[in-house]
């Protein structure tokens, strides 16, 4: 049975190009020099996307989804004597709190309404009240709602106070320009199946070498030891410590080439932004209200409030799927919503087709 293909309108996994899919049609050996060269090449390319050099920064891939990458940073770069401040305005900030609880890491939670961004004022106030904070973590694009938090305002200030900075840029890196060095980010985390437009299988950390080298021996787990993975790759020219997702790596290598061919992050950001604005405008014309204020809205994914009390999301979802589109249920607790992403191999004409399908369903 051949399943009907559909367009994934989610924040990742997402719809990939045919070339990325075809790149997985090759069986690599993890010890082979050609394969290790691919790993080294994409590590270097990631630094270019992050706008940093290999003297001060390194890119470290970690097997597993984006959460594995975040946990590798939380669990292996913060000591028992440190205190972590976590800014939370959605499910992914809260998830970092769960990690800290499991590892017994001292943490302070700055909890903000899911419909509002993290602000420098709130962070400053929290830091002033907690002078023992040594590390700070926040989400860039909180896909719980689609809100974009202002890391460029907050992270340099926090770093200026001598605090190690951690940014979960899972759904933004590669799709929104981020100057890691200028923003004084010590650890930035993302994954293969988001804005780079690869497939699921590994995450990666852009790490400031000086900070990472201080983390030697801090890891609370074997497989998520970020420093251990870094050293293995440095010593053995791109060799992963444990079995790597070889097909995913080759697909990612192809996806990075496609990002460059598109015109880099700036060009991809413009496409995503155009998609989102087209989507939001069209949905509002169909009677759907966007949850997040436009000035805080990311170009990655948009949350829409249910149009009526008796709106049946499951039926709406199934009808759209039969028309070739897959969307996301809502994740916010205060208001019933659903979400539509527009990253991946999604273009203006796809948004037009989606809006026509939704118009037919809701008429």
The answer to whether residue 18 is domain-embedded is no
Nearest to 275 by CA among 256, 257, 302: 302
Of 261, 278, 294, which one is at a domain's C-terminal end?
261
User: 208 with 56: CB under 8 angstroms?
Assistant: yes
Whether the predicted pLDDT of 258 surpasses 60: yes
Examine the domain organization and report whether 98 and 110 are in the same domain.
Answer: yes
pLDDT tens digits, 199-253: 999 999 999 999 999 999 999 999 999 999 999 999 999 999 999 999 999 999 9
Nearest to 57 by CA among 186, 196, 172, 182: 186
DSSP string, 83-137: EEEEEESSHHHHHHHHHHHHHT-EEEEEE--TTS---HHHHHHHHHH-TT--EEE
Examine the domain organization and report whether 162 and 291 are in the same domain.
Answer: no
Examine the domain organization and report whether 296 and 233 are in the same domain.
Answer: no
Cis? peptide before 13, omega within 30° of 0:
yes
C-alpha span between 347 and 275 (Å, rounded): 7
Domain of 322, in residue numbers = 7-13+264-362
CATH number reported for the structural domain that contains residue 150 in this entry: 3.40.640.10
What is the dihedral sign for C-alpha 290, 292, 293, 294? negative
CATH number reported for the structural domain that contains residue 304 in this entry: 3.90.1150.10
Examine the domain organization and report whether 210 and 340 are in the same domain.
Answer: no
User: What's the distance, Cα to Cα, between the start and end of the chain in Å?
Assistant: 33
Side-chain-side CA neighbours of residue 341 (13 Å): 27
Backbone angles phi, psi at 203, to 5 degrees: -110, 175
Examine the domain organization and report whether 165 and 51 are in the same domain.
Answer: yes
pLDDT tens digits, 5-24: 899 999 889 999 999 999 99
What is the dihedral sign for C-alpha 212, 215, 216, 220? negative
Model confidence at 4, pLDDT cuts 50, 70, 90, reads confident
C-alpha span between 163 and 167 (Å, rounded): 13
C-alpha span between 226 and 60 (Å, rounded): 7
The answer to whether residue 1 is domain-embedded is no
Examine the domain organization and report whether 257 and 280 are in the same domain.
Answer: no
Of 208, 235, 261, which one is at a domain's C-terminal end?
261
pLDDT of residue 3: 66
Whether the predicted pLDDT of 337 surpasses 80: yes
129 burial level (CB within 10 Å; 0-12, 13-18, 19+): exposed
Query: What is the number of H-type helices and E-type strands within the chain?
Result: 12, 15
Of 217, 241, 261, which one is at a domain's C-terminal end?
261
Q: How do strand 106-111 and strand 337-341 relate by DSSP bridges?
A: unpaired
Examine the domain organization and report whether 253 and 346 are in the same domain.
Answer: no
Examine the domain organization and report whether 306 and 356 are in the same domain.
Answer: yes
Whether the predicted pLDDT of 1 surpasses 50: no
Backbone angles phi, psi at 362, to 5 degrees: -95, -10
Examine the domain organization and report whether 247 and 291 are in the same domain.
Answer: no
What is the reported pTM? 0.96
What is the SS3 assignment for 65? coil
Bridge partners of 339? 303, 328
In this prediction, residues 176-182 reach a mean pLDDT of 97
Examine the domain organization and report whether 251 and 356 are in the same domain.
Answer: no
Percent of the chain with pLDDT over 70: 99
Based on the structure, what is the number of domains in the chain? 2
pLDDT tens digits, 96-154: 999 999 999 999 999 999 999 999 999 999 999 999 999 999 999 999 999 999 999 99
Backbone angles phi, psi at 279, to 5 degrees: -60, -50
Strand order in the sheet with 57-63: 57-63, 202-208, 187-191, 164-168, 135-139, 83-88, 106-111
The answer to whether residue 2 is domain-embedded is no
């Amino acid at each position: 049975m051949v399943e009907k293909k559909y367009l994934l309108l989610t924040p990742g996994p997402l719809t990939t190009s045919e070339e990325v899919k075809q790149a997985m049609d090759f069986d690599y050996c993890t010890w082979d020099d050609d394969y290790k060269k691919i790993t080294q090449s994409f590590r270097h390319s990631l630094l270019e996307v992050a706008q940093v050099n290999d003297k001060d920064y390194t890119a470290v891939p970690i097997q597993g989804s984006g959460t594995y990458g975040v946990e590798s940073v939380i669990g292996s770069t913060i000591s028992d004597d440190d205190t972590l401040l976590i800014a939370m305005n959605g499910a992914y900030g809260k998830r970092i709190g769960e990690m800290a609880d499991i590892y017994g890491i001292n943490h302070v939670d700055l909890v903000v309404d899911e419909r509002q961004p993290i602000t420098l004022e709130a962070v400053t106030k929290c830091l002033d009240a907690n002078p023992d904070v040594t590390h700070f973590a926040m989400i860039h694009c909180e896909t719980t709602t689609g809100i974009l938090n202002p890391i460029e305002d907050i992270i340099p200030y926090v770093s200026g106070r001598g605090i190690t900075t951690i940014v979960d840029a899972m759904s933004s890196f590669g799709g929104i320009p981020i100057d890691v060095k200028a923003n004084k980010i010590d650890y930035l985390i993302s994954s293969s199946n988001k804005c780079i437009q690869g497939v699921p299988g590994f995450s990666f950390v852009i790490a400031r070498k000086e900070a990472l080298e201080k983390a030697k021996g801090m890891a609370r787990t074997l497989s998520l030891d970020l420093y251990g993975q870094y050293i293995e790759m440095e010593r053995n020219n791109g060799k992963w410590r444990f079995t790597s997702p070889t097909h995913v790596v080759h697909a990612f290598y192809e996806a990075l080439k496609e990002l460059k061919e598109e015109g880099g992050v700036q060009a991809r950001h413009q496409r995503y932004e155009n998609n989102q604005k087209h989507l939001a405008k069209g949905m509002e014309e169909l009677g759907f209200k966007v949850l997040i204020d436009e000035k805080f809205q990311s170009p990655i994914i948009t949350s829409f409030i249910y149009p009526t009390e008796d709106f049946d999301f499951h039926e709406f979802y199934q009808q759209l799927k039969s028309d070739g589109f897959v969307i996301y249920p809502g994740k916010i607790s205060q208001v019933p919503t659903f979400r539509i992403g527009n990253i991946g191999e999604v273009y203006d004409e796809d948004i037009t087709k989606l809006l026509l399908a939704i118009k037919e369903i809701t008429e």
